Amino acid sequence: MHYQTHWRLAFVLAFFFHLVVWLVLMLVIPHVFRMLEPPPQETPMEWVDVADDMGTPEEDQQEEQPPPPPPPPSEPAAVEEEPAVVEAEVPEEAITEILKEVEETKDAPKEDNVLRSGEGKQIGQPGKILHAEQPAYGVIPLKLSIAVSARIGTDGKVIRTKVQRTSGNALYDRLAMRIVEKYWKFEPAKDMNGQPMESDMQCPVYFNMKPTRKIK
C-alpha cells in the first residue's frame, strides 16, 4: 500500500510538470520565431502633386460658367426737341411800309389792348417762339429796345399786342408791335389736357443793336 501511494504522487507531479513545460513552450516559441523573422522593408514614400491629382473641375464640380452678358442698355426715351428759334432781319423796304401804316393809323382810336389770362385755364405747357425777326440797322436813328407783349391764339397767330417797356416814342412803339404782329411766328401754349389755349408771350424788339438775351 505504501508503494501505491508514492506511484500516484509521482504520476500527478509528472502530469503537472509536463503541463507547465507545454504551456511555457506555447508562449515562448512564437516569440522566438518572431524575433528570427527579418524586419519588414519600408515602402518608399511617393510625392504626389496635389494640383495634378485634384483632377479637372468637372470631376469635383461643374466647370464654372462665365457670367451672363449684361443686358443691352435700354434706349433712352425719345425726347421731343424744342423747335429752334429762327432769327431774321426785317428788310428795310418792309420797315418803310410798316412806318407808313403806322403813320396812317396813328390818329385812329386805340383798341382795348388789355391782355387777359386764358379764360381761367391753367397752362400745362407754355407757348414757344418759332420765328423772330428784328428791324434792319439804320431804319431809325436811335439805338434802343422795346418790350412787346403779344397775345397768341390757339392757332399760333398774334391776336393783339401791347408795349410793356416803351421807347418813349409812340411811333417806334407802334413799329415794334407791327413787326411782331406781321413777322413773328409762334407755337400756342397748351392747357393741362394738352389742348391749345391763348397765352401772352414777351417779344423783345431791338433797333440798331444785337439782342441782349436769347429769345425763346
Asked, for residue 35, whether it belongs to a domain, the answer is no
Asked, for residue 80, whether it belongs to a domain, the answer is no
Task: Return the higher-pLDDT residue of 214 and 145.
Answer: 145
Q: Which tens digits make up the pLDDT trace of 146-162?
A: 999 999 999 999 999 99
Confidence check: pLDDT of 198 > 60: yes
Asked, for residue 170, whether it belongs to a domain, the answer is yes
Asked, for residue 141, whether it belongs to a domain, the answer is yes
Asked, for residue 144, whether it belongs to a domain, the answer is yes
Domain count, the chain: 1
CATH of the domain at 169: 3.30.2420.10
Asked, for residue 77, whether it belongs to a domain, the answer is no
Residue 82 confidence (pLDDT): 46
- Domain range for 169: 86-105+121-207
Asked, for residue 215, whether it belongs to a domain, the answer is no
Pairing of strands 199-207, 128-135: unpaired
Task: Return the higher-pLDDT residue of 21 and 186.
Answer: 186
> What is the DSSP annotation of the chain?
-HHHHHHHHHHHHHHHHHHHHHHHHHHHHHHHHHHHSPPPPPPPP----HHHHT--HHHHSPPPPPPPPPPPPPPPPPPPPPPPPEEEEE-HHHHHHHHHHHHHHTTSPPP------STTPPEEE--EEEEEEEEPTTSSSS-EEEEEEEEE-TTS-EEEEEEEE--S-HHHHHHHHHHHHHH-EEE-EEETTS-EE-EEEEEEEEESS--SS---
Asked, for residue 93, whether it belongs to a domain, the answer is yes
